[in-house]
Chains A and B, each alone.
Chain A
Amino acid sequence: MILRYLLRRVVLLGVTVLISSIIIFVICRLLPGDVARVLLGREASEAALTALRAELGLDRPLPIQYLDWLRGFVSGDWGVSYSTRQLIRPLVFERLHNSLLLAGATLLLAIPLGIGLGVWAGRRAGKLDDTAISISTLAVTGLPEFVTGLLLIDLFAFRMRMLPANSSLRPDANLLEIIPQLILPAMTATLVLLAYIARLTRAGVIHELNQDYVRTAMLKGLAPFTLLQRHVLRNALLPVITVIAISLGWLISGLIVVENVYNYPGIGRLLTFAIDRRDLILLQAVAMITVVIFAVANLLADLLYALLDPRIRLGDETR
């Protein structure tokens, strides 16, 4: 029966993606610059340009072009990149794989650190360490990624020579080679995420600590750690978990600056590359996959929340 609910959500997701696909297509066509001109160069003759446009199907009416593209995208035929002449689908999936690796590494750093700091700050609310944690995480988040990225490179790559500054993975690299290259980009992304997670956790912990049920649990004589993890965190982390699920979408496809700073071959870098080269068909594919990832991450977040909170899962008559 849960299938019914899932089905509804998936249909909704499909509609969202469909609408986004129209927007993406239209925006791509509105971008300044002529694909044929970009591909053939400044000196190309008008005849050659017209021929290329016809070959690429760019002379047909827009709705036909859109439907054509959509059909191709859905059936897995994503076309060939204008600029590199590679098949797009394997290219995107390879980059997606790399982005997933980076997202995973980031979460591995950000979740324990963010929650740890948040819990500490929440339990010591108003004290000096709480203020210190709040200010420092906020300050770090306030810095643009390219600044933190460059600072980290300067520190760890140039001064301490511990980690590589360039993270452009070799195509056949094994995991052991990849890990050192992941650390700096993951750290940079972590710094962006950290303050969100820490602040949300802190607010949750403070809120829950003031609830009556925590006093009930305390009066059972539970040890402080049991009290914290079984009662306080169980409720305080509900919103944190959803935020993490949502941020997954951002981590996979939104790390454009970080990937460019480190030359990391992820989806974000592929996006800038496609824009740079006026590679419309590649751009469309990357934008679409981004939209799908965001939509799925949101669905995941909702499902997770509903599954974790019995008041939503089972219905709360008091609300």
Chain B
Amino acid sequence: MSGLEVQQLTIEYRVANQTLPVVRDINLSVGAGETLGIVGESGSGKSTLGLAILRALPANGRIKAGQVLLDGIDLTRVQGPALRALWSRSLRLVPQNPLAALNPTLRIGDQLTEAIGGRRQDAIAQAAALLARAQIADPMRVLRSYPHELSGGMQQRVMIAMTFHGAPRLLVLDEPTTSLDVTTEAAVVDLLADLIAERRPAALFISHNLGLVARIATRAAVLYAGELVEIAPTTFLFQHPRHPYTQGLLASLPHPGLRYNQNPLQPIAGTLPDPGALPAGCIFAPRCPLADEQCRRERPPLLPATPDHLVRCHHWTMVEPYAPSPATPTINALTNGQPLLAAHRLTKTITPRRTFADLVRGKRPAPMIALAGVDLTVCRNRTLGVVGESGSGKTTLARCIIGLTPPSSGAIELIDIPLAPSIQQRPPEQLRRLQMVLQNPQEALNPALTVGEALRRPLIRLGGLDRRTADQRIPDLLRLVSLPPEYANRRPHQLSGGEKQRVAIARALAATPDLLVLDEAVSALDVSVQAAVLNVLAAIKERTGIAYVFITHDLAVVSYLADDVVVMYQGQIVEQGPVAAVLSPPLHPYTEVLLSASQPDGIRAREADTAVPPPVSGCPFQPRCPRAIGELCRTTPPPWRDAGGGHLIRCHIPLPDLRAAQMTD
């Protein structure tokens, strides 16, 4: 039989002197040319399953039981040279981080030809063809490059090209786009779908992004704590999930149209069980709203809800269809806006350090313009979303506001008080009023301090409290971010990622700031945890009147949480205004490209041609703009166009034309 058939697969890791069965009793089948999505929170065993199927588990991992049949051959029994032959011929992996997956000291050409094999001349020709097929414009140059000389998207295209040489029979895609920008992600997913349809391997698409899975996979399996809890065609799965866990994942996802104040997200309570201490009965029971005695006693079998929809739940008939009522897009205009912070003509030029190559060639690296004249107003009790691809200047903007990076020119003021450019020069009162939360809570929390100690410091230093009053405030702070007061005694390593991020937020709030800058603060979190943190932020804002600058690449999150939004491209704001006005429908072509990245046939940015220097005088987005109108865009800086209600668009295309484009598409 053709395709992949996994039977009763159980995988364990040896850690210290213990064996942890992290994946248990998995049954699934994927036909040739079919893509099966695998979703689940991080730690649920997705990568472990994918690697085990490829026979590429790390050294401490082992297939304990079960079979992996590929075209009828049991892969679990193949060893040594036979396994290597299978690897080179049929089994392929596209991993999450392409830079790490490529050898840093070998040229791309060498790495590709090594996979292809055969005579070098033929292999090179074939490699160039593969790169061209993966939509790389200049294959010969890329073949001569080292991995670090390519962008993330290019690196992943190289990995994909490497994956599709010969005739792959089994393809595991382990979060292949997680490290990419949304625009690049869209193009890479299109490419993958295309290649799978063309070469017809059995494909597993592993992702925590349910939207992506729905786009590329015909069926999807939901993994929870190492068990398959539901498997169904994606349309069924996402519209009528039968497992409370799947339901919970969907209800945590910021769909377009959901708003924090109208129909908030419903995060799943609790956390994934420790693989060393799994609950008896149903593994999801401790977090399940439907759990009863039976669930805690008996492990449910996979039950057929329909012939091709299996679900591991005693009470699947009680799970309601998932149908959030979309929020009515009300433009929450700037009428009640009281300016809190204003930035004027901020610029920041960063001169990179000279590399060895620069030294050798005797040239200086070109200075990088991170901010090119940004004007910005943040209002009291409002959330300003800042969106844009990586490298668009979002983080630099945040750092300038906080004072971590002094701007090259321009000024920032807080309710008419000019702020010193650097944090060292700002008085404690100003420090108190502006706080920041970073993407990675691991780096932000001192591992030696308990949560209570971490919170006490800002209470005393910035809040001006004495130690006793400060200690009395700590439980309130923890409750504010929905953590139990007992957490004050924990240390960072005893917290999950979402809990750490909530502690980081609590610490920032300890100083009772007027403005909190959150730089990709929820991006690394699982959807259910992200939903919880977003709701916490929304609740705090309602209660305290705080304002947020919320930086993210995720437009769904912005449309859920933000009141206003600015869209950045290459250090400039290209569009700004109330979130409903900017996002539905998008008018600026760049905003449009960002938004339609999540749609299967959305409009895509052109791949910028690196050989042509970007326009110095015209619109920065012109080289990639799908709607550019010609010479004007290249030569003249676009004007600001006022769409009313504080909605501004910087584009050469007249507003009526932009609106008309949205009507016809």
A interface list, Cβ under 8 A from B: 1-2, 4-5, 8, 211-213, 215-223, 230-231, 234-235, 238, 306, 308-318
Contact = CB atoms under 8 A, between A and B. Distances in A.
A315 B56 contact: no
A314 B105 contact: no
Interface of B: 54, 56, 84-89, 91-93, 95, 97, 99-106, 111, 114-115, 146, 148-149, 159, 162, 355-362, 365
A317 B350 CA distance: 13
A318 B88 CA distance: 30
A1 B362 contact: yes
A211 B88 CA distance: 19
B357 A313 contact: yes
Nearest to B94: A216
A215 B356 CA distance: 30
Given A316-B355, A318-B148, A222 B106 contact: no
A219 B357 contact: no
20 contacts: A213-B102, A215-B93, A215-B95, A217-B114, A219-B54, A221-B86, A221-B87, A222-B84, A222-B114, A234-B103, A234-B105, A234-B106, A238-B105, A308-B105, A310-B104, A310-B105, A312-B356, A313-B360, A316-B355, A317-B148
A5 B104 CA distance: 24
A317 to B, nearest CB: 7
Contacts of B361: 1
A220, A222, A316 — which one has the most chain B CB atoms within 10 A of its CB? A220
Given A216-B159, A314-B149, 8 more contacts: A4-B359, A8-B359, A212-B100, A216-B103, A218-B87, A220-B114, A308-B105, A318-B148
B104 A315 contact: no
A231 B162 CA distance: 16
A1 B359 CA distance: 8
B28 to A, nearest CB: 21
Enumerate the 3 nearest inter-chain pairs by beta-carbon distance, A residue then B residue, closest first. Answer: A221-B88, A315-B355, A221-B84
Nearest to B354: A315
Given A314-B146, A318-B148, A4 B362 contact: yes
B89 A221 contact: yes
Contacts of A212: 95, 97, 100-101
B105 A221 contact: no
B88 A220 contact: yes
A309 B106 CA distance: 10
Given A1-B362, A2-B360, A216 B102 contact: yes
Contacts of B91: 219
B87 A219 contact: yes
A211 B100 contact: yes
A245 to B, nearest CB: 16
A316 to B, nearest CB: 5
Nearest to B100: A212
A4 B363 CA distance: 11
A316 B86 CA distance: 35
B360 A216 contact: no
Contacts of A315: 355-358, 365
Contacts of B99: 318
A309 B358 CA distance: 15
Contacts of B162: 216
A231 B103 CA distance: 7
Contacts of A313: 356-357, 360
A311 B114 contact: no
A308 B95 CA distance: 27
Nearest to A310: B146
Contact of A220 (B87, B100, B149): B87
B29 to A, nearest CB: 22
B463 to A, nearest CB: 38
B392 to A, nearest CB: 16
A268 to B, nearest CB: 34
A235 B105 contact: yes
Contacts of A308: 105
Contacts of B148: 310-311, 314, 316-318
Contacts of A218: 56, 87
A234 B104 CA distance: 10
A222 B88 CA distance: 8
Contacts of A219: 54, 56, 87, 91-93
Contacts of B101: 212-213, 215-216
Contacts of B89: 221
A311 B361 CA distance: 15
A3 to B, nearest CB: 9
Contacts of B114: 217, 220, 222, 230
A198 B114 CA distance: 29
